[in-house]
Structure 1
Amino acid sequence: MKGIKYILALFSMAYALNSCDSALETIPTDRLSSDVFWQTNNDARLASNACYDKLLNFDPTLFFECLSDIGHRNYYSNDWSVMEKGTADAQATIFYDIWKSLYQGIRACNNYMANVDKIESTDQAELDIYTAEVRTLRAFFYSYLVELYGDAPLVTTPITIAESKELTRTPASEIFAFIDKELEAAVAVLPLKQSEVGRVTKGAALAIKARTALYNGNYEVAAKAAKDIMDSGVYSLYPEYSKLFSYDAENGCEVLFDKQYVKDQYSNQAMSLFGVRSLSQGGLNIAPTRTLVDAYEMKNGKLITEAGSGYDPRNPYTSRDPRLGFTVYVPGCTLPNGNIYNPLPGSGTSDDYTQYLASTTGFGFAKYINAEDIATPSNCGINLIYIRYAEVLLIYAEAKIEMNNIDSSVLDAINQIRRRSDVDMPPIPDGLSQAEMRKKVRHERLVELALEGQRYFDIKRWKIGEEVCNTPILCISYVDDKGELIYAQDAVNPKRWNSREYYWAIPYNEILMNPNLSQNTGWSSTAQ
């Protein structure tokens, strides 16, 4: 049984929150009367389920990758493409769509928190767990909000339309403090394991706490929260990286927090969004770049640019970190349908990268792409993983490195990941400086968490956007019919990043309705 995903598929809350003219209007217009609802623990359970339903889907979670250096928006007539090229303005619908989506989640949580005390429970411990779950979800929504927009209205109770038009932006530091406080309260109540698969656990709340603290530069808190997870004995690395994003690994030992789906009932479009042309019957939306492909080390642990690496540019995928082939479909890979992936020009396949709807870089997504979904690419049941144990290990390592408290536990955290059975990369050696270790952990995050929606947020917090995202789009390399080595690139639609990109525009329509909401630096209502 998939647990909560079946609940989400079968139950549609009568008080679910419809879209409003302003995303900050937090009074639902169609909720059940409290005279008939908020009577039992099951009412609280159903209300909490409505909060889970508001978690971000594959789009936009993985679409964030096209704003980083490792992904490319495969179509040019979409807000994501405009943002990638640095030409978006504050009226771009994506700014409002995600702002609205996050506040809808916050609104559902606020509604729960405002009403749960009406229940006269016969099992207060159970009710407290539901409430701790909702606190965690609300903190998670706010973590995305502050990471994308910076200062934003902190709303913790249902408010009227008139009140929504008087809100001001709360400093990001206060929102981070609120998130930490909420998660601390939730951790004290949540169990290590839930009987219903998919519900928030103590480990999930600690993981969100660790990630948010890391993003906020609160390294001591991040390291402690990550260490609490590591010491819990509940989680471990899944033995095979190659199967980590398959149906077989769902709800496995590595997953701390995910969004649950079920085919035919509460499905997603993972295959149609990210499958290569020959698999998805359409065209993938985000194409991995050669920047990502080139980042993977050789099997001997050297970068392809290092002397003695053994890298052969005419056989660029040979003897590489196995995670490359488990993450990206490169020429010569075997696809889930048994065919060999061939995106080279003139290949005669629908994956020829010069053809319409094929990957414009020649590379394809491998994560979340499963044979079970080929027949119905818009009806997938694969879960979307938000946080997994490998990230917890990397959070711990990075936080300790930033505190310059580098000991054997830091090396072990990174090397556990590199020693996974089907990865088996050389360990990081002892004796490196803080600067060298910082470089190592950042590289490990890049290759371990690639195409999971993390890289964009790493670029933002490390403030390296101008360095890595002002480039042409690097595509496949290949030997042409004259025997010449060709390095393809898309110079017509290059990536562009300037200082304003570190915080998204506050949606222009929100500012029109509420002049108290100031705009982030560098954004205006007209195209740049």
Structure 2
Amino acid sequence: MKIINKIKASTLLLLLGVMIMGCTDKLDEPQLNNNFAGGTDFTKTEDMGLSLVGAYAAFQSRGWEQPLLLAVRGDDVNAGGLGDQQDFAETDLYNYNKDYWMYNSLWENMYVDIISTHTAMEQIERYQQAADERGKALGDQYIAEAKVLRAMMLLQLSQTWGDVFIPTSSDTGELKDLEEVPTKAEVMQHISDQMDEAIPFLVDMHPNQRVDFPGGATVYTALAIKALANQELENYGVVAEATGRIINSGLFSLYPDYYELFKIPGKLSDESILDLQYSDFGQGEGDREAHLYAPYGPQNWTPAVEGAASGWGFFEPSMKFIKFMLDRGETVRLETSVLFTDRGIAELQQDPAYSDLPAFVSNTTRDGDVINDYARALFASGKHYLPSNQLIPGRTAYGSNKNFNVIRYAEILLMYAEAVLHGATPTAMSADQAVNQVRARAGMPAISGVTLDQVVAEKFAELGMEWGKRYFDLLRLERYSELNYDGRTFSESKSFLPYPQAQVDQFPILTN
């Protein structure tokens, strides 16, 4: 049973409403000293966990546009064309509009959810005042978990905008008093320090071993986020230490079937470190918790299960990525990552080097869904695809019941290898061994004497289409020329999105 199954969906929504009441759509009104908790009886310490459930609900409430915007600027992804989101397509071309609603949505809603985690922590602290020693210890664990969720959101905000706010409480009024905006380096160091604070209070197990909050944050989730923050800081010794602890735990392994990893069989597998969790609660109608995957799906298909809805065609694996994968001899990773249309295949074959394609390059998936031609794109993302035959009968929404991977063990192995190649002391295994574990699962031959270029390429192949990871790697490594593809022109000045004008209006400090 997942976190979202801990309480019925209707109760969860009510709880979430209590959690964020007073947290307005604009970040310019302070919380009122937790008075929004209303009639909550903080002496009922058995209800402490409900505050944490609210924090998880906030973390998992990502709007469809948010991960889409985070991911679109890499050379692995193109924005689908001919849609009603022209500024989304322009963002893919590094032409930014500070008034675009998606920018404000990502900024504002991420901060609303960060404030919700602070609200949860403050509520838990109030429960702790009436708790016995066991209850106080449990409260410390719950606060640590909320810190982990907060850190992941803050990391993605800083990757996107660089210098961003660091809230320290649910009182957003404190942001009005800032004299300068924390730098990206300061944000990343803050995240690392927060994870060091959290780790002693978190449970030491795989997230899927938890029975209280299955899939919830553990020591290893915090270590992974600490590694990600220090990777941004280029503190590769810390990256090697944190990822090495995850590897040495022996709790994690690569899910053997890469294709099914991103589908129902791969839910909360031993590869999962952090997922956004969704569920149809095993039923074909009624309550459900879901992410809107339609933007990633093909606009036109003939599903194996009649009635399964198609998508919007807003997200397209790039031709550069597909040719890169074919040149490497990739099989299951390419098949998993890309849904092909006949029109896309024909466009690919116009290049004589790709006239003879492997049999799996087909407009029909191995599950029998036919991806028909559609105007907005030549290809669709396979990593955001759920076969229609894996939908619970009665459910028709594209991708319904599918989790959203955020951090996987494969990424940990590749981060570790990269850190070692940057000069960090090996703490778990050699860089060759780490990379070859990932390659073996993909059916790729082992390599020896692995180089930094090979690790970067391996990350491209393994993590393409996932949360902008490729884009942020290229920025960190200053490989800007890779982002000049298919007529695009990138410069370092385009690394970060402009602050949304709606936020600049509220917080003039952002003008500077």
TM-score normalised per structure 1: 0.80
Pairing of 1:236-385 with structure 2 (within 5 A): 236-263=253-280, 264-271=287-294, 273-275=296-298, 277-278=300-301, 279=303, 280-296=309-325, 303=328, 320-330=330-340, 331-335=361-365, 338-341=368-371, 351-352=372-373, 355-357=374-376, 360-362=377-379, 364-371=381-388, 372-373=390-391, 376-378=396-398, 380-385=400-405
Partners in 1 of 2:470 and 2:399 — Cα distance?
27
Partners in 1 of 2:368 and 2:295 — Cα distance?
18
- Secondary structure of 2:155's counterpart equals helix
In structure 2, the residue matched to 1:411 is 432
The one of 483, 494, 510 equivalent to 1:469 is 483
User: Is the alpha carbon distance of 1:229 and 1:457 closer, same or farther for their aligned partners in structure 2, counting shifts above 3 Å?
Assistant: same
User: Is the alpha carbon distance of 1:429 and 1:400 closer, same or farther for their aligned partners in structure 2, counting shifts above 3 Å?
Assistant: same
Partners in 2 of 1:382 and 1:405 — Cα distance?
38
- Secondary structure of 2:509's counterpart equals coil
In structure 2, the residue matched to 1:165 is 176
Q: How many residue pairs are counted as aligned between the two chains?
A: 457
Identity of aligned residues (%): 24
User: Is the alpha carbon distance of 1:506 and 1:283 closer, same or farther for their aligned partners in structure 2, counting shifts above 3 Å?
Assistant: closer
- 8 A Cα contact 2:64 2:295, kept in partner: no
Give the letter for the 2:19 counterpart: A
User: Is the alpha carbon distance of 1:62 and 1:83 closer, same or farther for their aligned partners in structure 2, counting shifts above 3 Å?
Assistant: closer
Partners in 2 of 1:221 and 1:129 — Cα distance?
24
Structure whose residues are more often helix by fraction: 2
Partners in 2 of 1:249 and 1:183 — Cα distance?
27
- 8 A Cα contact 2:279 2:288, kept in partner: yes
- 8 A Cα contact 2:51 2:123, kept in partner: no
Pairing of 1:55-454 with structure 2 (within 5 A): 55=59, 56=62, 59-75=65-81, 76-78=83-85, 79-119=87-127, 120-122=130-132, 123-159=135-171, 161=173, 163-167=174-178, 168-193=180-205, 194-195=210-211, 196-263=213-280, 264-271=287-294, 273-275=296-298, 277-278=300-301, 279=303, 280-296=309-325, 303=328, 320-330=330-340, 331-335=361-365, 338-341=368-371, 351-352=372-373, 355-357=374-376, 360-362=377-379, 364-371=381-388, 372-373=390-391, 376-378=396-398, 380-403=400-423, 409-420=430-441, 423-430=442-449, 437-453=451-467, 454=469
Partners in 2 of 1:445 and 1:506 — Cα distance?
29
In structure 2, the residue matched to 1:7 is 7
Q: Deviations over 1:364-415 (max 9, x none)?
A: 5354422224961247111111101000101111111112657961100000
The one of 23, 26, 51 equivalent to 1:22 is 26
Partners in 2 of 1:115 and 1:29 — Cα distance?
10
Does residue 472 of structure 2 align to residue 457 of structure 1?
yes
Give the letter for the 1:51 counterpart: A
Q: Deviations over 1:297-351 (max 9, x none)?
A: 55xxxx4xxxxxxxxxxxxxxx54431112112341532651554xxxxxxxxx2
Q: Deviations over 1:272-314 (max 9, x none)?
A: 632452054343220111111111255xxxx4xxxxxxxxxxx
- 8 A Cα contact 2:240 2:426, kept in partner: no
Partners in 1 of 2:5 and 2:333 — Cα distance?
29
Q: Deviations over 1:457-476 (max 9, x none)?
A: 222222333x123332xxxx
Structure 1 runs (4+) deviating above 6 angstroms are: 28-31
Give the letter for the 1:121 counterpart: A
Give the letter for the 1:427 counterpart: A
Partners in 1 of 2:187 and 2:217 — Cα distance?
21
Partners in 2 of 1:389 and 1:362 — Cα distance?
27
Give the letter for the 2:4 counterpart: I
**1:57 CA displacement:** 5.0
**1:362 CA displacement:** 3.9
The one of 42, 47, 53 equivalent to 1:49 is 53
Q: Deviations over 1:33-54 (max 9, x none)?
A: 3652433444432122222222
TM-score normalised per structure 2: 0.82
Unpaired runs of at least 5, structure 2: 281-286, 304-308, 341-360
What is the Cα-based RMSD across aligned positions, in Å?
2.7
User: Is the alpha carbon distance of 1:512 and 1:339 closer, same or farther for their aligned partners in structure 2, counting shifts above 3 Å?
Assistant: closer
User: Is the alpha carbon distance of 1:442 and 1:32 closer, same or farther for their aligned partners in structure 2, counting shifts above 3 Å?
Assistant: same
- 8 A Cα contact 2:336 2:382, kept in partner: no
Give the letter for the 1:81 counterpart: A
Give the letter for the 1:166 counterpart: D
